[in-house]
Amino acid sequence: MTMFWLGAALLVVLCMAVLLRPLLRGAAPVRDADAVPASEVYRDQVHELDGDLRRGTLDAGQRHAAQDELGRRLLDDGPAAPSADGGASQGKGARRSPALAALLLAVVPSAAILLYLQLGNPLALWRSGDMGPMGKEDMGHELSNAQVEGLVNQLAQRLRAQPDDAQGWYMLGRSYAALERPADAAAAYAKAVELVPDEAMLRADYADVLASVNGGSLRGPAQAQIDRALALDPDQPKALALAASAAMERGDKAQAVAHWEHLYRLLPPQSQTAARVAASLAEARGEAPEPAAQVAGASVSGRVAVSGKAPRKPGPDETVFIYARPVDGSRMPLAVLRRQVRDLPLSFRLDDSLAMDAGHRISSQQSVMLEARISASGNAIAQPGDLVGKAGPLAVGSRAVDISIDSMLPSPESK
């Protein structure tokens, strides 16, 4: 992103240099190519007087009087008093325009930036590499959040002026989901689905966000989006995975097995996703020899504490949620632990015994993301003003993980 802005700034500087140089320097005086210098005219007329003197048509006194008159004319018509046409041309050529230069300097760069924000895609400039490693220096983490919030807000403002941009609404929905704002993400996805109703992948992503809004449950609106996605594309991978999870949620193991088998056939056999699907498939078939929570390493443990740099001091009765989520970005938790602020600092252990869905557990993953959130309202859905801390990606089986709760979800006024 930095290289883009440096390149854009260089182009603006070059453009301004081309535009401003003639306005500030002024053009060279314009001369009439056909004009004869006055000194040459004077010499020719003196030669004519000498010829008249030799021929006897003038005497010496008349010749000197005529030469004096020519000298006076030369002084009157010299470089200090150019001809009417020549003087006008020189005045036009040498005139400068500092006011126009200042106007261009103010308008052109501003117009370029505004046009890019309206017609371009500023959010596409952001990459995870620009955001700094998660969980490292507090200042870098805060700056990263500010960068993402700024880009998302710019995209939202652009969509107010261009509400028919389906790709923009889809991007906004994904961005809100990444910022832990599932209700805003659902609203953005709803706009995208309204504009592009026959896109299966979009419907699957919308269903995932609706599950987050519904406390992790795939029932109701989320199930409707899953069904529509599979009707559009029976091979849509995310829709199949969600359909299998939804079937497990309602206790329909046969349907879950059918969806998992279908999905497994679509995946490269050696991929991590295929391994996770195989584990879920075995669980749905009842082939696991023992509960996965008892499998060695199928857990993540560590310690949660409130950082001294947290934006506010939470009350002792506020609720603490500790989540494990898949690295692939799905918002449905793999495991959830609920405590209170008075219990902090807190040692925790997340395993399959804390799963919200039997088909969506830590043991089915190779790595996870961890999040601790303090909620004043006790709501399972993230709200503005909640304090958060994150860690990951972490391999399943990690121990002694430290989660520092050091940032706050933005309030509506800051959006």
Q: What is the pLDDT of residues 214-229, one digit of tens each?
A: 888 898 999 999 999 9
Does residue 168 share a domain with residue 46? Answer: no
pLDDT of the residue at 402? 92
pLDDT of the residue at 404? 93
Is 185 within 8 Å of 209 (Cβ atoms)?
yes
Is 111 within 8 Å of 19 (Cβ atoms)?
no
pLDDT of the residue at 412? 57
pTM exceeds 0.75 for this model: no
Please indicate, yes or no, if residue 130 is contained in any of the structural domains. Answer: no
Does residue 278 share a domain with residue 147? Answer: yes
pLDDT of the residue at 227? 94
CA distance 119 to 113: 10
Laid out side by side, the sheet with 387-395 consists of 335-340, 319-326, 367-375, 387-395, 407-408
Please indicate, yes or no, if residue 79 is contained in any of the structural domains. Answer: yes
Does residue 289 share a domain with residue 223? Answer: yes
pLDDT of the residue at 410? 80
pLDDT of the residue at 54? 74
Most confident region among 30-39, 82-91, 380-389 by mean pLDDT? 380-389
Indicate the residue among 272, 293, 314 that finishes a domain.
293
CATH number at residue 263: 1.25.40.10
**Is the omega angle on the peptide bond into residue 393 within 30 degrees of 0, that is, cis?**
yes
Does residue 395 share a domain with residue 312? Answer: yes
Percent of the chain residues past pLDDT 90, beyond the cut = 22
Report how many domains make up the chain: 4
pLDDT of the residue at 74? 56
Please indicate, yes or no, if residue 400 is contained in any of the structural domains. Answer: yes
Name the burial class of residue 95, with classes exposed (0-12), middle (13-18) and buried (19+) by CB atoms within 10 angstroms of its CB: exposed
Is 86 within 8 Å of 96 (Cβ atoms)?
no
Please indicate, yes or no, if residue 161 is contained in any of the structural domains. Answer: yes
Query: Considering only CA atoms, which of 213, 411, 401, 410 is closest in space to residue 322?
Result: 401
Does residue 308 share a domain with residue 262? Answer: no
Torsion angle of alpha carbons 356, 368, 406, 408, nearest 10°?
-50
pLDDT of the residue at 110? 66
CA distance 19 to 13: 10
3-state secondary structure of 384: coil
pLDDT of the residue at 403? 93
Please indicate, yes or no, if residue 31 is contained in any of the structural domains. Answer: no
Does residue 360 share a domain with residue 228? Answer: no
Please indicate, yes or no, if residue 7 is contained in any of the structural domains. Answer: yes
Percent of the chain residues past pLDDT 70, beyond the cut = 64
Does residue 49 share a domain with residue 109? Answer: no
Quote the mean pLDDT of the chain. 75
Position 131 pLDDT exceeds 60: no
CA distance 264 to 242: 13
Q: What is the pLDDT of residues 2-44, one digit of tens each?
A: 566 666 777 777 777 777 666 666 544 444 444 455 556 666 6
Does residue 12 share a domain with residue 83? Answer: no
Q: What is the pLDDT of residues 325-344, one digit of tens each?
A: 888 777 778 889 999 999 99
pLDDT of the residue at 223? 93
Please indicate, yes or no, if residue 121 is contained in any of the structural domains. Answer: no
Domain span at residue 340? Answer: 297-414
Position 138 pLDDT exceeds 70: no
Q: Write the DSSP string, 210-241.
A: HHHHTTT--TTHHHHHHHHHHHH-TT-HHHHH
The predicted model gives 316-325 an average pLDDT of 91
Which one is predicted more confidently, 128 or 186?
186
The predicted model gives 349-376 an average pLDDT of 84
Position 89 pLDDT exceeds 80: no
With cut-offs at 50, 70 and 90, classify the pLDDT of residue 231: very high
pLDDT of the residue at 88? 43
Does residue 152 share a domain with residue 284? Answer: yes
Does residue 364 share a domain with residue 320? Answer: yes
